[in-house]
Amino acid sequence: MEELLNFTKTLIHISSIIAIIGVSVSVIILLYRTMRGPTNPDRAVALDVIGVNIMALTGLIAILLVSTQFNDVILLIGILLFIGTVALAKFLEKGVIIERDMD
Amino acid sequence: MLLAVLLPFIIAIFIPLLSRWKHNLHTGFFVTAVPVVIFIYFIRFIGQGFEPVEREYSWIPSLDMNILLYLDGLSLLFVLLISGIGSLVAFYSIYYLHKSEQLGHFYVYFLLFMGSMLGVVLSDNVFVLYTFWEFTSLSSFLLIGFWNHREGSRYGALKSMLITVFGGLSLLGGLVYLSVITGTSSIQEIMSQRELVLNHEFFPLILGLILLGAFTKSAQFPFHIWLPDAMEAPTPVSAYLHSATMVKAGIFLVARFFPMLSVSEWFFIIVSTVGIFTLCWGSYMAVRQTDLKAILAFSTISQLGMIMAMLGFGTELAIFAAAFHILNHATFKGSLFMVAGIVDHETGSRDIRRLGGLMTFLPITATLALVASFSMAGVPLPFLNGFYSKELFFQSVYELDLSVTGIIAFLQSIFPYLAVFGSIFTFVYSMYFFFGTFRGQGRIEKLPKKPHEAPIGMLVSPLLLVVGVIVIGLIPDLINKPFVEHAASAIGGADISKDIYFWHGIKPPFIMSITVVVFGTILFLVRPKWASVYKIVPGILSLNKFYDGLVARTERYSTVITDGYMNGSLGRYMRLILVAIMLVTFSVMIYTGGFTVDTGNLSDIRVHELLIALVMVIAAFGTIVAKNRIAAILILGVVGYGLAMLFVVYRAPDLALTQLIIETVTVGLFLLVFYHLPKLKKTSESPFTKTMNVIISAGFGLLMTMVAISAHSSKLFDSMSSYFVDNSYELGGGDNIVNVILVDFRGLDTLFEIAVLGIAAMAVFSLIRLREKKKEE
């Protein structure tokens, strides 16, 4: 039983590290898109996906650290990403984020 | 005695009230009473058996600054000069200044000056002395600039201010040294510890600083240039300040510190050389002037040089002669200035080229001028006091001790010739002053006013002074024993007693006097023939040009320097700040051996940390090279999120939460104001600046990295965080240590950070509102 538990622990550990590396690589590739991205919408989408990847990263790190303290962070990133992307989208579409006259 | 010093200040307060009635009664009448009262108060001290009087009044006892008044022979001589000539000048000014002038201002400055001058000569505390010293500079500045609508007055006032305050500050330095070395601020006590000062390594510095103060105030070469320009002042001021009192403050200072300073041989070398040279230069330059007051100004410079030289000789005879000449110079120079004022007042011109032949129009004035100028020239007549002191001067310069060697012997061997040379020119300008104004054929009809004799009130003061000249000349013993001897003894620090005779027999001093008269007469008669010598010397070597150039250059170069770094470019300021920080920190760290690298307490590096760091580094570089602003903002967002990830990795959930929100809000704010931001442009900086920027930023980054590593490597004490870990639940009642610290252990910081946020919000709000309001208007 003890052995099995240890084995599972090691398995989770290794797999989360592999996953972290995978996600990180994807972040780096996305970073390339953010910097090069021929148009600004490209960058916006890349940033959005970086955010999703960061959510994943946070989760994986939380697993790695055996902690539940970071669940808030994951939720928050989700909300912020949504708000940020909507704001960006609106900015790219209309040039402003908050419209003044609501008629 | 304190009341006598403060009386002018007290009366000065009431002058503005009194001058309201100036149309009924000239304010000067009230003012004249002040010096008269002081004079009567102090004249009681004259007498054979005079003993120094000392009074102490508390001012700042904790700093050893008390108003210590000390009246010895030297102070008494000056006090009587100040109050006596002050009375005469005040009386003279009643007739000189019209009621339509700003009499209130004039007499306030005048009384301020008189009080501070009394303070200078009576103070025994060095700091009180300095206070009054600066007061004289200040009130002199105000008096010179009395007619401040004139360009020349303002220029002269500024010049005298700059030069005398420069000297005053160096005097302060010397006095501070003295009081630090001796541990007391009383001049008498400093004198009693003179061995200590003389053997101190800073003695040359003290000597230099004090002499600098004295030379600037007493218009010694090369600091004499302010005095001729101070002639823009009203004539009573010139008569009072720039002949009798203020310019003698430097003499007073040297005389006061004489027992201490004169022990050094450098005192002899500096003071007597400067004095003799000033004597020659002043008298030489005086002949060249065309303005009556300018002649007198250079004459004052020259006479002050003579007194200074006598103090420099330091023999008993010379000291006695100096004290005697201080008195004599005040009498004849004061009356000559008043004569010049009368001539100006009655003819409308002070230009000697336009004057001449005034003797028949101004007979009394001419007589006064005759006596005073002959006394100044030192004509050997038994009723002229100037002759006595000049003869004593010749005698003292002739009797200098020739048993020494080196530079002193050389100086002593040339001094008699220089003294005769200076005196010849003194004779020439005295004759020039008198004959040029009152004799010859003048062009009376071309003068601005038709000349006529001055009102009797205006003549009283110079008359009294000339009577003084004659009385001292006829019966010198009247003032010798009870007065001049005390002053000389006070200067020399020993009993000095000399008899004054008119006739010494045919001895070298008399031969020198005769030489002066003979050569002076010849030079005066053929003056137009050699006047062109002034084109060679001073010619272009004008000290005034040097001063003007210095002032102008100082201004210009400071402008250049200030403009050099303050060009309004924020980039440049940023560079300067960073470079300064780098230089200071690097040098301090290297000097103290602060850079250390200790790998003992490092933890292992994990793969995901490395990856996050890599992402952040790439994104940071990306921000720099981004071509458009949105891209830059978005990539900056990546850096922020990376930081949040680092917080996650290092187990700081609260920080991570906050960082994420702030990052998002910041990106949002950037987008909000994006519309108003200019397009990112290629900067127009030169390649050099760009390279510098790269170097500076790289250097600064390096510096911060090294500082951080060193800070980490040199932990001297354990961190106190274990206390929070142990006590956060028990004392703070919370599991979340970060939050307990923020609101409980260190709640005050949080309060003020909230305040910062509030202020920022209000500032943003008001900025936007103000802008909108402006638009509406």
Q: Which residues of B touch A98 (CB under 8 A)?
A: 672
How many CA atoms are closer than 13 Å to the CA of B132, on its beta-carbon side? Answer: 28
Map tokens 């579409």 to a residue.
Answer: A93
Indicate the residue type of B446. Answer: K
Residue B403's pLDDT is 64
Query: Does B653 contact A70 at a Cβ distance shorter than 8 Å?
Result: yes
pLDDT tens-digit map of B335-391? 888 888 888 888 877 888 877 777 778 888 888 888 888 888 888 777 778 888 888
Alpha-carbon distances, residue B274 vs B223, B302, B401 (angstroms) = 11, 11, 19
Q: Which residues of A touch B637 (CB under 8 A)?
A: 47, 84
Of B95, B85, B118, B84, which is closest to residue B12 (Cα–Cα)? B118
Of B125, B1, B141, which is closest to residue B64 (Cα–Cα)? B125
Q: Is B697 helix (H, G, I), strand (E, B) or coil?
A: helix
Look at residue B777 and tell me whether its pLDDT is greater than 70.
Answer: no
Q: Which residue of A has its CA nearest to B736?
A: A69
Query: Does A35 contact B622 at a Cβ distance shorter than 8 Å?
Result: yes
pTM for this structure? Answer: 0.78
Query: Does B631 contact A65 at a Cβ distance shorter than 8 Å?
Result: no
Q: Do residues B79 and B118 lie in contact, with contact meaning Cβ atoms separated by under 8 Å?
A: yes
Map tokens 């002649």 to a residue.
Answer: B295
- Closest Cα of chain B to A1: distance in Å? 29
- Structure-block tokens of residue B374: 């002959």
- Structure-block tokens of residue B286: 């005086």
Residue B580's pLDDT band (boundaries 50, 70, 90)? very high
Residue B7's pLDDT is 86
Helix or strand holding residue B383 (H, E): none
The proportion of chain B whose per-residue pLDDT surpasses 70, expressed as a percent, equals 95
Question: Checking phi first, is residue B493 left (phi over 0); if not, alpha (psi -120 to 50) or beta?
Answer: left
Select the residue of B608, B635, B648 nearest A73 (Cβ to Cβ).
B648
Residue B584's pLDDT is 92
pLDDT tens-digit map of B256-300? 888 888 888 888 888 888 888 888 888 888 888 888 888 888 889
Query: Does B634 contact A47 at a Cβ distance shorter than 8 Å?
Result: yes
- Closest Cα of chain A to B764: distance in Å? 17
Of B316, B494, B472, B278, which is closest to residue B392 (Cα–Cα)? B316
Select the residue of A58, A84, A95 nearest B648 (Cβ to Cβ).
A58
Residue B375's pLDDT is 87
pLDDT tens-digit map of B461-508? 888 888 888 888 888 777 777 778 888 888 877 777 777 766 666 777
Query: Does B671 contact A69 at a Cβ distance shorter than 8 Å?
Result: no
Interface test with A, best of B660, B677, B768 (most A CBs within 10 A): B660
Residue B557's pLDDT band (boundaries 50, 70, 90)? very high
Q: Which residue of A has its CA nearest to B626?
A: A35
Q: Do residues B435 and B338 lie in contact, with contact meaning Cβ atoms separated by under 8 Å?
A: no
B513-538 in b/e form (b: 16+ CB < 10 A) is beebbebbeebbeeeeeeeeeeeeee
Interface test with B, best of A17, A28, A34 (most B CBs within 10 A): A34
- Structure-block tokens of residue B181: 């070395």
Look at residue B162 and tell me whether its pLDDT is greater than 60.
Answer: yes
Look at residue B685 and tell me whether its pLDDT is greater than 80.
Answer: no
Q: Which residue of A has its CA nearest to B662?
A: A80
Residue B719's pLDDT band (boundaries 50, 70, 90)? confident
Domains along chain B with CATH numbers: 1-261 (no CATH), 263-531 (no CATH), 569-717 (1.20.120), 718-777 (no CATH)
pLDDT tens-digit map of B750-770? 999 999 999 999 998 898 888
Residue B748's pLDDT band (boundaries 50, 70, 90)? very high
Residue B626's pLDDT is 78
Of B133, B271, B266, B259, which is closest to residue B195 (Cα–Cα)? B259
Q: Cα–Cα distance between B434 and B356 in angstroms, integer? A: 9
Query: Does A76 contact B631 at a Cβ distance shorter than 8 Å?
Result: no
